[in-house]
Chain A
Amino acid sequence: MSVSLVLAILVGVLVAGGVVLLLERSLTRVLLGAVLLGNGINVMILTMGGVAKEAPIIGENAQADQNDPLPQVMILTAIVITFAVTAFLLALAYRSWQLQGHDEVQDDVEDRLVATRREAEELEDTGADADLEAAQDARAAVEETASPDDDAAITRDA
C-alpha cells in the first residue's frame, strides 16, 4: 500500500497543532485543538484507503480503478460525531464564560483541599475547635481562586 507523502505530512502537522492547542488552559483553544486533531485523524483514515482512484460508482468506472469507499464512509461518520461534540464544547465554553467571565479549565476544589490539608493539620494544635477552623482556612484559601458557587450561578440564571 502506498501513501501520499503530502497527506502524511498534513496529518503530522494537524495532529501536532492539535496536541499543542489541547494542552492550553483556555477552553476555546482546547476546542480548536480537538477540531484540528479530529481532522488530522480523518485525513489519516483517508490515506489508509490507498492511492486516490476513481469514484466507487458501479457502472461509471471499472471496478479495478475504484477507490476503497470504506475509509470515506468512516470519515463521514467521524465528521458527524466530531461536529456534534464540537457544538457541545462550544456550548460548554460559552456557559463557562457566562458563569465565570472566562473559559479556563479549573482545578478541582476538593483536590486542592486534600493538597492543602497538611497545612490545615499543622494549624490544628493552636486551638480547641482548630481542625474545623483550619479546614475553613484551607477552604477559604482555595475559594479565592475558585469558581463562584452553584447558587450564584442559579440566581444569575433566574
Chain B
Amino acid sequence: MSTADLVPLPVVLPLLAAGTKFAIGVRWPRLQRAISVGTLTAVLVVAVLLLIAADRHGPQVAAIGGWQPPIGIVLVADRLSALMLAISAAVTLCVLVYSYGQGSADEEEGLPLAVFHPTYLVLAAGISNAFLAGDLFNLYVGFEILLVASYVLITLGGTASRIRSGTTYVIVSLLSSLLFLAAIGLVYGATGTLNLADLALKLRELDPDIRLVLELSLLLAFGIKAAVFPMSAWLPDSYPTAPAPVTAVFAGLLTKVGVYAVIRTETLLFPDDDRVAALLMVIALLTMVVGILGAVAQTDVKRMLSFTLVSHIGYMIFGVALGSQLGLSGAIFYAIHHITIQTTLFLTAGMIERVAGSTSSERIGGLAKTAPLLAILFFLPAMNLAGIPPFSGFIGKVALIEGGVQDGSWLAWTLVAGSVVTSLLTLYAVGKAWSRVFWRSPRVSLPTRDAATGPGTLAGEAAAPGPGPARGGAGEDVSGATIGGRDITRGGRMPRLMTGATAALVVLGLAFTVFAGPLTGVTDRAAVELRDRAGYVRAVAPVALLRTPDGYVIGPPATIPPGFSDSGADDPAPRRTPGPRATPTPGATP
C-alpha cells in the first residue's frame, strides 16, 4: 500500500464517524468521545504522513474509483494541501477537546451535543475535501459539505441572536456558492473539463479576455468565502454569536479554505496575469486597512478578533498577488500561523466569557488577578498576531514585506507600508483589549459562582450582577452561551480540558517560532512547487480525450507543452536569501 492510498482517508474517516455517531445517538458518551477524538487523531496522523510523502516524493494522487483523470475525480495532496490539512487537523482536534470541556462544564448532555459532535466531524470532512480536491467541481462539493455543516453549527440551539446572525451567514454563503457554481459552469463551457491539472493545460489555449472573465468570477466566489474586503461585512456580524468552539474553528479554518482556493487557482490555473495581480494588491491593502480600523473601533473582544481576522486575510492575499516564490511562501506561512493564532484567541475569548460573564471590555476588567493563566494564554497569541519580533507572526510578515520589497513596484511598496501600519494597529487593538480586560481594575464586580444561576435555570440574565451596567443586557447580542444556546455556567473553576486544549494551541503557535527554519523550508518548497506547475500536472497526468467518429477514446497522458512552468523549474533549490529572481515579472521595476 502506498501513501497515495491514504489520500481519501481525511475525507472518508470523519464522514463515517459522523454517521456512526448519528446512529448511536446520545448513548455511550465515552464511546462517542473515543470515536471523535480517535477519528480526528487518525486524520492528523494521515495528514502528517501525507505531508512527509508529498515533501519527499511529490504530489500524492488518488483517482477515486479507479477512473482516470480527467474523466474521474482525483484527490491530490501536494505540499500546500498536505500542510494545510495537517494544520487544520491539529486545530480541529484541539477545538474538539475544548468543546468537550465546555460541554461537560455546562452539564450539557443530550440533544445539542448529539447534533454538535457529528456535525463537527462533517465540517472536518468538508475542510479536508476542499484541501484535497483536484477537481473544480469536487472543490465545490467540499465547500458545500463544510458550509452545510457550518450552517447547522452557527444556528445551534436556535436562539434569537443566533438565528439573526445565522440568517446573514447562510444567505451570504449561499450566494457565494451559487456564484462559484456559475463560474464552474462557465469554465466547463469554455474548456470542457474541470480537472485542475487538465484546466491548467487547456486554459492556456483560451483567449486571454475569456480567461480573465473566468478568473474573476472564480475569485469573486472565493473572495466572499475568504472575507476579502468588499465582501467581508458578513463575517464580524455573524461569527461572534456562535458558541466559542464553533467561532474558533470557523475563524481559523473556513476563511482559510477560501484563501487556499485563491492560492490554488491563482497559481495553478491563472499564473502571471499582471492585471489581476494589481487588482489583488489593491484589494489586499483595503482588506488590511479597513479591517483593522474596524477592529480598533470595537469594544467587544470577540468582535475585535473578528475584525482582525478580516484584516489579516489581506496579508495572505498580498502574498498571492506578489506571485513570487517569496510572496507565496510568505502567504502559506502566514495562513498556517493565522489559522492557529486566530483559533487560539477565539478559544481564550470563550474562556474570558466563562470567567467574567461577558467579552465586552466595557464591562469586565482586572482578570489578570482572578485568572492569571488565562491572561498569559491570551497575551501570547495576541502578541503573536500583532507580529512582535520573536513570534511567528513577525516571521510571516517579514517574509511578505521582503517579497514586496523584492517586487519593487510602487503598488508593492504601498502594500509594504500598509502592512506595517496594519501590524501596528493590530498591536494597538489587541493591546487595548488586553489591558482593559486583564489589567485595569474591574469596573463592576465579577459574578461569582453563587451569583450565577444554577445549571438547570434558564433565566440567564439573573446571573448578571445587580450593580453596574451589565443589567442592561436585555437585547445583548454578544453574550456567553452554551453550545445548546443556554447561558454558560459562569465563575467556578475553569474546566481542565478547556485550559489544556487552549494551552496546546498556544504551544503549537509558539512551535512555529521555534521550528520556523524547517517550516519555512517546507513553505518555500511548496511555493516552488506551486510556481512550477508541471510537477502537479505530471503527477495527476490527465489523459487526453481524443475525439473519434464514435465519440471519445482515451489517449496517452497529456504532454506538458514547453514554456508551461513559469519559474526556474531546473533550479529547484529553495533559497530564502533575497537575491535576483529567476524570472523577473515584466513590468516590475528593479
* A27 near B298: Cβ-Cβ < 8 Å: no
CB-based contact A136/B472 at 8 Å: yes
Asked whether A38 lies within 8 Å of B178 as measured between CB atoms, the reply is: yes
Question: Provided the pairs A88-B151, A147-B160, A148-B160 are in contact, do residues A71 and B188 lie with their beta carbons within 8 angstroms?
Answer: yes
Given contacts A63-B551, A77-B137, contact A48 B185 (CB under 8 A): yes
Of the candidates B171, B188, B474, the one whose C-beta lies within 8 Å of that of A30 is B171
Of the listed stretches B11-19, B86-94, B457-465, B535-543, chain A binds B457-465
Task: Tell me the bound Cα distance from A136 to B474 in angstroms.
Answer: 11
Indicate whether B582 reaches chain A with its CB closer than 8 angstroms: no
Whole-angstrom CA separation of A136 from B550 in the bound complex: 76
| Bitwise interface map of A from 73 to 100 toward B, beta carbon under 8 Å scored 1, else 0 | 0100110010011001100100110011
Is B551 within 8 A of A85, CB to CB?
no
Classify chain A's interface size. Answer: 35 or more
B164 touches A106 (CB 8 A): yes
Does A143 make an interface contact (CB < 8 A)?
yes
Q: Are A85 and B148 in contact (CB under 8 A)?
A: yes
A140–B141 touching, CB < 8 Å: no
Q: How far is the CB of B307 from chain A (nearest CB, A)?
A: 11
CB distance from A148 to the nearest CB of B (A): 6
- A110 to B161 alpha-carbon distance, docked (Å): 11
Q: Which residue of B lies closest to A77 (CB)?
A: B141
A78-B458 in contact given A22-B175, A88-B170 (Cβ < 8 Å) = no
CB-contacts of A109-158 with B (<8 A): 109-111, 114, 132, 135-136, 139-140, 142-143, 146-155, 157-158
Per-residue CB contact flags for chain B residues 129-151 toward chain A (1 = under 8 Å, else 0) read 00000000100010010001001
The distance in angstroms between the C-alpha atoms of A66 and B550, with both chains bound, is: 10
Given A105-B167, A105-B168, A135-B362: A64 and B549 interface contact (C-beta under 8 Å): yes
A53-71 contact mask (Cβ, 8 Å, vs B): 1 or 0: 0000000001110100011
| Contact A143–B474 (Cβ < 8 Å) | yes
In the assembled complex, which residues on chain A have CB atoms less than 8 Å from the CB atom of B300? 110
User: B449-469: contact bitstring with A at CB < 8 Å (1 yes, 0 no)?
Assistant: 000000000111100000011
Please indicate which of the listed interface residues A1, A139, A149 has the most CB atoms of chain B within 10 Å of its own CB: A149
Complex Cα–Cα for A139 and B188 (A) = 51
Contacts of A114 in B (CB 8 A): 297-298
What secondary structure prevails in chain B residues at the interface with A? helix
Task: Determine the chain A residues whose CB is within 8 A of the CB of B460 once the complex forms.
Answer: 150-151, 154
Judge whether B164 and A44 touch: CB under 8 Å.
Answer: no
Judge whether A27 and B469 touch: CB under 8 Å.
no
Asked if A88 and B171 sit within 8 Å, CB to CB, the answer is no
Interface string of A31-64 (1 = CB under 8 A from B): 0001001100100110110000000000000111
- Taken together as a complex, chains A and B put the C-alpha atoms of A41 and B163 apart, in Å, by 27
Distance between Cα atoms of A27 and B487 in the complex (Å)? 27
Q: Are A110 and B303 in contact (CB under 8 A)?
A: yes
Segment of B315-323, B477-485, B495-503, B511-519 in the binding face: B477-485
Among B185, B475, B477, B478, point to the contact of A41 (Cβ < 8 A): B185
Q: State the CA gap A45–B188 with chains docked (Å).
A: 8
With a cutoff of 8 Å between Cβ atoms, the chain B residues found around residue A110 in the complex are 240, 298, 300, 303, 477-478
Are B170 and A92 touching (Cβ within 8 A)?
yes
Residues of A within 8 A of B151 (CB): 85, 88
Minimum C-beta distance from A100 to chain B (A): 7
Question: Please, could you name 13 A-B residue pairs with CB atoms under 8 Å apart, sorted by A?
Answer: A1-B189, A22-B175, A41-B178, A41-B181, A44-B185, A45-B181, A48-B185, A63-B552, A81-B148, A85-B148, A110-B477, A114-B298, A139-B472
Contacts A45-B184, A109-B477 given; 19 further ones with Cβ under 8 A?
A34-B178, A38-B178, A47-B189, A48-B186, A62-B550, A63-B551, A64-B549, A89-B170, A89-B171, A89-B174, A99-B160, A110-B478, A132-B362, A135-B362, A135-B469, A149-B160, A150-B481, A151-B458, A153-B159
The 7 A-B pairs with the shortest beta carbon distances in the complex, nearest first, are A63-B551, A48-B189, A109-B477, A45-B185, A143-B475, A146-B475, A150-B159
